[in-house]
Structure 1
């Protein structure tokens, strides 16, 4: 009996890191508990009893995180870790993001076909299942996990730097998917069923004789006339066409620009020695980014917790309980096992760096996250922001429990 109990209690983690099953549970649950605690403090600060983080304050905090703190974190961590050789070794990270979007779309289509969400939320339901948060939430979890000295991925600094670099390396692909594929899928039906949001961005109503794909939903500046185009030349007109068609303005957001700069500078040895090494003449800039980047985690969690004060809003009733439950189940329960299969198959085929546990852990996290917050921003641009807000509210609530379970499983598989 003692041998049986010992066999049950000991896991592969025990052989690698001296951790029992309860130790693995502790390592997996503690980061979630830290995240939940900071979100609760944000919720408390935004509540009517304290009201330190009102709606306008949360918008400003979100803007600060997105425009400054997150780019600083990505630039400092990714730039220090990346080299040309490592970029070649990490090629499967962006591929994993694409495969995750494809597999999530297939699962979302099957779920939506079975559940039959109310019109016009069929494509909306698919996207809410397909597109996970591959940036902010994994960064928060990695930071919380690496702070624990008993984590199985090595010392705190190495764990944090590697994890942040891996996550940041895949973010640019996620942005392209969001502002091309997701933007297209969120196009409203010809009848203009979606209600327009009361936001700062004006919208155009689709015309009767125009397909939704060909209608510009956001008010754009007046297009230049043919005479202007003839003056500027065909090359410039073509570049403008490509710029607008690929929505580069939306894709080239501050975190993506920071990722590109970090990869370019980190891949050039001369520039890397000039900026990212501790004795470099311009290291003061990198050190400043490190200081600002450390503030990203608490700020984004306070803002996320504060946003939960408003609750799901009227969007839940529009989507319907059955569709909402199906989205939560599909995103948090059905997508991760498929992602696990993708990562294990890639490992068997030799696509992943040998012996790098953190690399595999980040790949698995990319498939296990709640619905992307940025997909809610795209939904807001397309006029269905209230429905997306309802989904994000409930998915993130239940993700607290699902992520803990999946992390426990991943740690026991990896170790």
Structure 2
């Protein structure tokens, strides 16, 4: 039996891992401050990460890391994704009403509290842990550190896939920003149309009958066309590149015949498809972390003189309230769901880490939130990782009480 791990091992391993991640974010922040990452560059980085890098990472990692047995063991991931999304949504809605904010601000708080960074930040931390002794906390018996890391990244990306589905569907039912500001525009337009039709009532029956017939046909066509456009818009918004890649990865991973074609040393398509997709996927985490820093650095210093109440509430929820509630829920139900320490850590991660509703939004509020969440609160990232590893380690009996 392996000797128990000292808390100092977790402490220094977590600090080393956090330094890697925070360092990349800081470089992005400095790059934005000196004008290297301007608005057009940040927009390009958004498209690159969302449309190319993240889909490559999802396909290569999930496709190679799962099978039917893995899907059965990781059933808590979608359950806890939905559970924590509902819980954090209720907390966000409560905060918006408590602070008596406008509808636009309420939507901002709701979205920022409900959607946390479950991809770049924790994946980067897990990858940086691989060369530290702290990784032994998450290992099964006789499991290599690289295998532990790969399993953890697979769990996190499965969670990312489920959260993307939840986020994409939720955004379709949230009111748009312009709708919240101009909610009565459609009523005004419909009133104007009714006046025009009424003014034609003094025409003869022979004149109005063909006209009404054409109007009915045109109106019916417009309604069908409008409905069709809404359906197509909904489909295009839901079926995004990461969701397509994640779905393909699940199919390939669960079908052994397909998996042998894409993954493995003797896979037919590995040299021609999977190999270069894996190479591209390596850039996902550092590019996303750079983007976070660039977004945080895009805010003017004069805008930071006064912090808004909504940002304080969001940071409190994401760094304090949700971690406490989420960790408690996972620990209370751990015995019923899994004995895998890595899966326990990932379930806790679903309730932790700062917001990531739109890392590339040009709005001042989002840039301020990124600055306070990832720059000012950067030490909290280290403390969160130390706390999570310690809790998992003590619960599985791998951490000694002595330093």
Report the TM-score, using the length of structure 1 for normalisation: 0.76
Distance 1:347 1:16, change over 3 A: farther
SS at match of 1:121: helix
Match of 1:34 among 20, 28, 33: 20
Which residue is equivalent to 2:169? 180
Mapping of residues 5-404 of structure 1, within 5 Å: 18-48=4-34, 51-117=35-101, 120-148=104-132, 150-152=134-136, 153-154=138-139, 155-188=144-177, 192=181, 207=185, 209=187, 226-227=220-221, 242-244=231-233, 247-284=234-271, 285-311=273-299, 321-348=308-335, 350-352=336-338, 354=339, 356-374=340-358, 385-404=363-382
More helix by share: 2
1:165-206 per-residue CA deviation (whole Å, 9 max, x = no partner) reads 11121223222322332453453486617xxxxxxxxxxx86
Conserved 8 A contact 1:313-1:386: no
Inter-partner Cα distance in structure 2 for 1:370 and 1:186 = 23
Conserved 8 A contact 2:45-2:287: yes
1:89-111 per-residue CA deviation (whole Å, 9 max, x = no partner) reads 21111111111111112222333
Inter-partner Cα distance in structure 2 for 1:228 and 1:323 = 42
Deviation at 1:40, TM superposition (A): 1.9
Any unmatched runs of 5+ in structure 2? 189-217, 394-403
Conserved 8 A contact 2:29-2:293: yes
Conserved 8 A contact 2:55-2:246: yes
Conserved 8 A contact 1:127-1:185: no
1:239-274 per-residue CA deviation (whole Å, 9 max, x = no partner) reads 876554xx2312222222111111101110100011
Conserved 8 A contact 2:50-2:242: yes
Report the TM-score, using the length of structure 2 for normalisation: 0.78
Inter-partner Cα distance in structure 2 for 1:332 and 1:28 = 17
1:260-297 per-residue CA deviation (whole Å, 9 max, x = no partner) reads 11110111010001111221111112121211111222
Distance 1:84 1:254, change over 3 A: same
Conserved 8 A contact 2:96-2:105: no
Inter-partner Cα distance in structure 2 for 1:184 and 1:409 = 36
Give the count of matched residue pairs: 359
Inter-partner Cα distance in structure 1 for 2:248 and 2:46 = 22
Greater RCO structure (CA 8 Å; 6+ sep): 2
Any unmatched runs of 5+ in structure 1? 1-14, 194-204, 211-223
SS at match of 1:53: coil
